[in-house]
Amino acid sequence: MKLEAYLEKHFGYTQFRDGQKETISEIMAGNHTLSMLPTGTGKSLCYQLPVYMMNKPAVIVSPLLSLMQDQAEQIKVRGEKRVVSFNSFLSFEEKRYALNNLHTYRFIFVSPEMLNSRQLLAGLKKLDIGLFVIDEAHCISQWGYDFRPDYLNLGPVRKQLGDPLTLALTATATPAVRSDIIKELGGDEFTEILSSVDRGNIALKAEKFSSYEEKEQRLLTLVKQLQGPGIVYFSSKKTAETAAAFLQTQGNGRSAFYHGGLEQEQRILIQQQFINGELDLICATSAFGMGINKENVRYVIHFQMPMQMESYVQEIGRAGRDGKESAAILLYLEGDEGLQLSFIERELPAINQVKGIVHYLKSKNASSGEEAARLLQKDDIGALFALNEIQLRIIQHMLLSLHDLQDLKLIEAEMISFVENRKEGKVKKLRTLLSWIHANTCRRELITRYFHQKIQQKPEQCCDYCGIDLEGFYQKDPPENPAEFRPIFDWKEELIEMLVPGRNE
């Protein structure tokens, strides 16, 4: 039976989207596969169809609770009941039942952190796993070395599970990131399926401003004029909240804010309201978007620039999943990059902090990385050396990778080198995006070149350099201008965002 016949039988579709058939063919041929498919092209089908064809369960590693829940619910909506998500929503009784009946499930969703559970890992070892899936696999390289070190443990976990057939899925990964993903998963040979990152139906535009007031006024104008629904991205939680409140007072009542500081139930409610058309506008941090299965988002605005090109492409990729023309607009004020630079500084421990911790471990006569990591946790070393949670996790991860702590001077040098290299890499990526903002050439060409690809065909609505008609994205009957403008920027709140750990998610 041809793949198309299985596709129609299980999903009711008669043809595959770009990259899907190639990915599934490699999986069914028994090849470990890394597949880079554009956002919104149905990456989840690439593991769902093989599960039915092989009649074996899949373990899907998912980075976010919201993404995991959304994917699991979509599978259930199709009538599939053998789905479980190991997350904080499961009660103790539900988790115990799921663990005792693990062999009955077809789709088993887990977070990287959940794979630290000995009980869950023991249960998974007993299964004949058909497919080990890492969704949003770029997170291994993008997050694993920083605030999600459990991503770097997926290689050893995979080995413990008997090296099952593996599928790594991502929408954005440079050759270096793809190489890093494969290395961290154990270094096996992977077939790579690479579709273009270019989304020809998304027009690209960057606008520059001389003051915050001017930029904020432009945001208000765009939100009133553009055909929705839309997403506006911010780098800080407070700015997203303040902007949503302001826009509501200016006639955008069907809007809300979203960030990682909200309760899980509230985040899921907002997502569902947006997906179901009950909300037209979301003011969000980067925490919003993964797994949001909404095809008709007509625009994405960046009020503050993201930290790297990968994030930008992922976020604008939430527009126009239905293939219709959509707009991506970035609003830039000179100095905006300062906020991202402060985030980079806060994510990584300072050299003096590393030296202080090594000196502390020397005084404690720690003999192994495992013992050192325990000491840091036990003695509340984070408070002692003013480390935030992310910085502490990075140091613990570095120590856990060391078996012998005899030469602490060499270890100190290695840890400092790691931190400096990570910081340099992040700053370089930020500068690349800044160069893209200031570029006097085709924006689409620069994006594809960054991912070592080429444009196959330029669309008529390409970018502000090549020429676009932004009015073509306006509402046919925009609402009348409401009351006076009130600024949404608060420098005091922005300063707090920069200084208080964990407030920018």
Most confident among 21-30, 56-65, 472-481 (mean pLDDT): 21-30
DSSP 212-276: HHHHHHHHHHHHHHB-S-EEEE-SSHHHHHHHHHHHHHTT--SEEEE-TTS-HHHHHHHHHHHHT
Confidence of residue 482 (pLDDT cuts 50, 70, 90): very low
Cα–Cα dist 381/346, whole Å: 17
Burial 133-161 (b: 16+ CB within 10 A, else e): bbbbbbbbbbbbbbbbbbbbbbbebbeeb
Q: Are both 3-194 and 202-336+441-499 of the same fold?
A: yes
**What integer pLDDT is reported at residue 488 of this predicted model?**
44
Note the pTM of the prediction, 2 decimals: 0.83
Q: What is the mean pLDDT of the chain?
A: 83
pLDDT at 291: 61
Instruction: Please give the structure tokens belonging to residue 35.
Output: 């597949």
Q: According to the model, what pLDDT value does residue 477 have?
A: 65
Residue 486 confidence class, pLDDT cut points 50, 70, 90? very low
How do the domains of the chain map onto residue ranges?
3-194, 202-336+441-499, 342-427
Work out the average pLDDT over 298-311: 93
Distance CA 31, CA 45 (A): 17
pLDDT at 301: 97
Q: How far apart are CA 313 and CA 62, in angstroms?
A: 20
For the ranges 81-85, 151-155, 434-438, 490-494, the lowest mean pLDDT is seen at 490-494
How do 230-233 and 299-302 pair as beta strands? parallel
Q: Is residue 22's pLDDT more than 60?
A: yes
| Amino acid identity at 12 | G
Name the nearest CA neighbour of 67 among 110, 100, 36. Answer: 110
Does the structure show a pLDDT above 60 at 265?
A: yes
pLDDT one-digit tens code per residue, 44-69: 889 999 999 999 999 999 877 667 77
Residues 449/21/65/155 CA torsion (nearest 10 deg): -80
Predicted confidence at residue 1, as pLDDT, reads 62
Average pLDDT over residues 242-255: 84
- For 340-382, how does the pLDDT look when each residue is reduced to its tens digit (9 = 90+)? 998 888 878 888 888 888 888 778 777 777 777 777 766 677 7
pLDDT class for 405, splitting at 50, 70, 90? low
Among 278-282, 311-315, 477-481, name the one with the lowest average pLDDT.
Answer: 477-481
Q: Among the listed ranges 83-97, 100-114, 168-182, 312-326, which one has the minimum average pLDDT value? A: 83-97
| pLDDT value of position 492 | 46
3-state secondary structure of 308: coil
Q: What was the pLDDT predicted at 232? A: 95
Top-confidence residue, 222 or 40: 222
Tokens linked to 77? 């909506």
Task: Compute the distance between CA of residue 499 and CA of residue 491 in angstroms, rounded to an integer.
Answer: 12
- Alpha carbons 349 and 173: distance in angstroms, whole number: 26
What are the C-alpha distances in Å from 498 to residues 113, 349, 492? 27, 15, 10
Q: What is the pLDDT of residue 77?
A: 76
pLDDT value at position 483?
A: 40
* pLDDT score recorded for residue 442: 96
* Fold of the domain built from segment(s) 202-336+441-499: Rossmann fold (3.40.50)
Q: 249 falls in which pLDDT band (50, 70, 90)?
A: confident
Q: Is the model more confident about 298 or about 1?
A: 298
Residue 398: per-residue pLDDT: 76
Architecture of domain 3-194: 3-Layer(aba) Sandwich (3.40)
How sure is the predictor about 19, in pLDDT bands with cuts at 50, 70 and 90?
confident
Q: Tokens for 488?
A: 């949404």
For residue 142, is pLDDT > 50?
yes
Average pLDDT over residues 20-24: 91
Whole-number pLDDT of residue 303:
95
In this predicted structure, the answer to whether residue 496 has a pLDDT above a threshold of 70 is no
| pLDDT at res. 268 | 79
Q: Which DSSP symbol is given to 463? A: B
Q: Which residues pair with 193 in a beta bridge?
A: 35
Confidence of residue 86 (pLDDT cuts 50, 70, 90): confident
Average pLDDT over residues 149-171: 87
Predicted local distance difference test score (pLDDT) of residue 360: 81
The pLDDT assigned to 165 comes to 94
Q: To the nearest whole percent, how much of the chain has pLDDT over 70?
A: 89
- Residues 177-205: what's their mean pLDDT? 88
Q: What is the mean pLDDT of residues 454-475?
A: 90
Beta bridge partners of 327: 203, 299
| pLDDT for the residue 432 | 96
Amino acid at 462: C
Whether the predicted pLDDT of 137 surpasses 90: no
